[in-house]
């Protein structure tokens, strides 16, 4: 076992220390090339290109078929940070079942930062914090599995995690083997203490280590969008964070924390809006975990935040304390109609179509069976008297070549929060939309 680790570790170091500066690697003197030379070189270039495709680090070997719809679950970080324990995780697992959240789709219970002791053991293995997890992590995982849930764990590509615990740098294959042995199903992999590392290479190394360890594990990249993972990570992992951390301190603002910023749900939504072409089954943009039920959000704000995560086909990772959750919060998190928008099998991320008066935004998301979800989001501070004339509209998604022409064919309008049909596109939509709230509808063929 030990020699296998050594061998794997050496291989990994060789790969990562190799230069990535493509600009310099492939420099040659253009001024001297002639047509003849170019023709002569063509077979070599083609061969090199084939080699690049075959050995391209971006062509990592993530497990296929995981997360065909955005993953759903619960994560400890937003509420508990490092104040986690065996007791908390077991009680959360129980509550995921008894509240109906598991059956609504919240399958992954993810233990975030702070689960490990400050030092690895003498063989370099991670050690669970003996006070927080007196029976180790495997016992907790077994418990979570016994409840019909899947288990996720956190670590970091750098030398230390963001909360200062041992990171994975230099132990990728060793940690992946240990995780597989414990039976994890999901790995969230952060980006603190990563100075000098190349994100694409570091995440590819971990992706390969997971694959080598043999257990199908969903790989969640958490490098905050810094190196534009949407351009290279679709073969490396199943989801990638697109921004810095979310906060429940406000619904529509940015909080300056000195060396970094935190973003409200609405700010994150703005940052992710343009990335809709990059999401799809098995590879999702991740605008961070939900803050539904946290902070002082009104029910309208909670509803709007949850609806917009569904419109963006975002992973739905609840981040609240399930033991104190109000019935209203539970009702939002488990709304079947809204979850169905998020989990639609087409896997298309919705996009912003237009701005209306009073800071109302219109977002559209194509769904299976030629249906479309439409969201009217009131970001303004007063109630808006909404008027929307469907018969002039064509909804379109040029990236996926889909459109819905409302000028001729009428559609039924289904209000997804009220769970009732509120009219047809034959008549203009007229209603009062409260501030910081949302109207989420589905257009259904008559
Ligand atoms: C980073 C991540 C968060 C959380 C913390 C843990 O800030 O973006 O989601 O995992 O680290 O320390």
> Quick one: three-class SS letters along the chain?
CHHHHHHHHHHHHHHHHCCCCHHHHCCCCHHHCCHHHHHHHHHHHHHHHHHHHHHCCCCCCCCCCCCCCCCEEEECHHHHCCCCCHHHHHHHHHHHHHCCHHHHCCCEEEECCCCECCCCCCCCCCCECCCCCCCHHHHHHHHHHHCCCEEEEEEECCCECCCCCECCCCCHHHHHHHHHHHCCCEEEEECCCCCCCCHHHHHHHHHHHHHHHCCCCEEEECCCCCCCHHHCCCCCCCEEECCCCECCCCCCCEEECCCCEEECHHHHHHHHHCCHHHCECCEEEECCCCCCCCCCCCHHHHHHHHHHHHHCCCCEEECCCHHHCCHHHHHHHCCHHHHHHHCCCCCCCCEEEEEEHHHEEEEEEECHHHCEEEEEEECCCCCEEEEECHHHCEEEECCCCEEEECCCCCEEEEECCCCEEEEECCCCEEEEECCCEEEEEEEEEC
Supply the CATH number for residue 427's domain: 2.60.40.1180
pLDDT of residue 59: 56
Assess if residue 20 is contained within a domain: no
Assess if residue 327 is contained within a domain: yes
Q: 245 C-alpha to center of ligand 1: Å?
A: 7
Q: 261 C-alpha to center of ligand 1: Å?
A: 12
Do 178 and 311 share a structural domain? yes
Contact residues for 200 (Cβ-Cβ < 8 A; gap 6+)? 20, 57, 58, 227, 229, 232, 233, 236
Q: How many domains does the chain have?
A: 2
Last residue of a domain, one of 292, 310, 342: 342
Look at the block and give the residue holding tokens 């939900």.
290
pLDDT of residue 56: 52
224: left (phi over 0), alpha (psi -120 to 50) or beta: left
Assess if residue 38 is contained within a domain: no
Show the domain range for 298.
72-342
Contact residues for 22 (Cβ-Cβ < 8 A; gap 6+)? none
Do 225 and 94 share a structural domain? yes
Do 376 and 328 share a structural domain? no
Do 315 and 177 share a structural domain? yes
Do 270 and 219 share a structural domain? yes
pLDDT tens-digit profile of 205-225? Answer: 999 999 999 999 999 999 999
Residues of the chain with confidence (pLDDT) below 70? 1-60
Do 292 and 381 share a structural domain? no
Do 240 and 222 share a structural domain? yes
Within 6 A (CB) of ligand 1 lie 77, 112-113, 154, 161-163, 190, 222, 245
pLDDT of residue 389: 97
Contact residues for 103 (Cβ-Cβ < 8 A; gap 6+)? none
pLDDT of residue 396: 97
Assess if residue 323 is contained within a domain: yes
Assess if residue 13 is contained within a domain: no
Q: Please check whether residue 102 is in contact with residue 148, taking contact to mean a CB–CB distance below 8 angstroms.
A: yes
pLDDT tens-digit profile of 339-382? Answer: 999 999 999 999 999 999 999 999 999 999 999 999 999 999 99
pLDDT tens-digit profile of 37-81? Answer: 333 443 444 334 433 434 455 455 799 999 999 999 999 999 999
Do 358 and 289 share a structural domain? no
Assess if residue 363 is contained within a domain: yes
Residue whose CB lies within 8 A of the most ligand 1 atoms, among 168, 190, 247, 259, for a mutation test: 190
Do 147 and 120 share a structural domain? yes
Enumerate the active-site residues.
Answer: 190, 245
pLDDT of residue 60: 55
Q: 343 C-alpha to center of ligand 1: Å?
A: 25
pLDDT of residue 178: 98
Do 288 and 416 share a structural domain? no
Do 236 and 164 share a structural domain? yes
Residue identifier of the C-alpha nearest atom 12 of ligand 1: 162
Do 172 and 311 share a structural domain? yes
Residue identifier of the C-alpha nearest atom 9 of ligand 1: 245
pLDDT of residue 408: 86
Last residue of a domain, one of 291, 314, 342: 342
Supply the CATH number for residue 295's domain: 3.20.20.70
Assess if residue 55 is contained within a domain: no
Alpha-carbon distance of 224 to 226, in angstroms, equals 5
């Amino acid at each position: 076992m030990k020699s296998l680790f050594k061998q794997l570790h050496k291989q990994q170091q060789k790969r990562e220390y190799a230069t990535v500066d493509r600009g310099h690697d492939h420099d040659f003197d253009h001024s001297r090339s002639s047509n003849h030379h170019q023709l002569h070189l063509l077979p070599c270039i083609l061969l090199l290109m084939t080699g690049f495709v075959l050995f391209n680090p971006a062509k990592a070997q993530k497990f296929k078929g995981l997360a065909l719809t955005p993953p759903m679950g619960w994560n400890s970080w937003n509420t508990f940070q490092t104040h986690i324990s065996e007791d908390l995780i077991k009680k959360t697992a129980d509550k995921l079942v008894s509240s109906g959240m598991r059956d609504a789709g919240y399958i992954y219970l993810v233990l975030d930062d702070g689960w490990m002791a400050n030092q690895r053991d003498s063989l370099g293995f991670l050690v669970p914090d003996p006070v927080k997890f007196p029976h180790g992590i495997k016992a907790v995982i077994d418990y979570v599995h016994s409840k019909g849930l899947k288990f996720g764990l956190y670590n970091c590509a750098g030398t230390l995690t963001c909360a200062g615990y041992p990171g994975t740098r230099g132990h990728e294959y060793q940690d992946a083997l240990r995780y597989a042995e414990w039976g994890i199903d999901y790995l969230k992999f952060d980006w603190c203490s990563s100075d000098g590392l190349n994100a694409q290479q570091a995440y590819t190394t971990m992706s390969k280590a997971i694959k080598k360890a043999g257990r199908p594990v969903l790989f969640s990249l958490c490098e905050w969008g810094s190196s534009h993972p949407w351009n290279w990570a679709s073969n490396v992992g199943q989801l990638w964070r697109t921004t810095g951390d979310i906060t429940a301190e406000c619904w529509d603002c940015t909080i300056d924390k000195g060396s970094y910023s935190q973003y409200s749900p609405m700010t994150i939504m703005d940052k992710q809006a343009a990335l809709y072409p990059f999401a799809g089954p098995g590879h999702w943009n991740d605008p961070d975990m939900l803050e539904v039920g946290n902070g002082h959000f009104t029910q309208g704000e909670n509803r709007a935040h949850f609806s917009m995560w569904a419109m963006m086909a975002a992973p739905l990772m609840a981040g609240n304390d399930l033991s104190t959750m109000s019935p209203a919060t539970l009702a939002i998190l488990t709304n079947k109609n809204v979850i169905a928008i998020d989990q639609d099998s087409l896997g298309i991320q919705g996009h912003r179509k237009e701005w209306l008066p009073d800071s109302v935004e219109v977002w559209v998301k194509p769904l299976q069976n030629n249906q479309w979800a439409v969201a009217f989001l009131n970001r303004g501070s007063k109630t808006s008297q909404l008027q929307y004339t469907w018969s002039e509209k064509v909804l379109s998604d040029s990236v996926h070549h889909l459109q819905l022409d409302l000028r001729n064919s009428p559609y039924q309008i289904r209000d997804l929060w009220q769970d009732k049909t509120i009219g047809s596109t034959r008549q203009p939509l007229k209603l009062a939309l409260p501030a910081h709230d949302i109207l989420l509808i589905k257009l259904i063929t008559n």
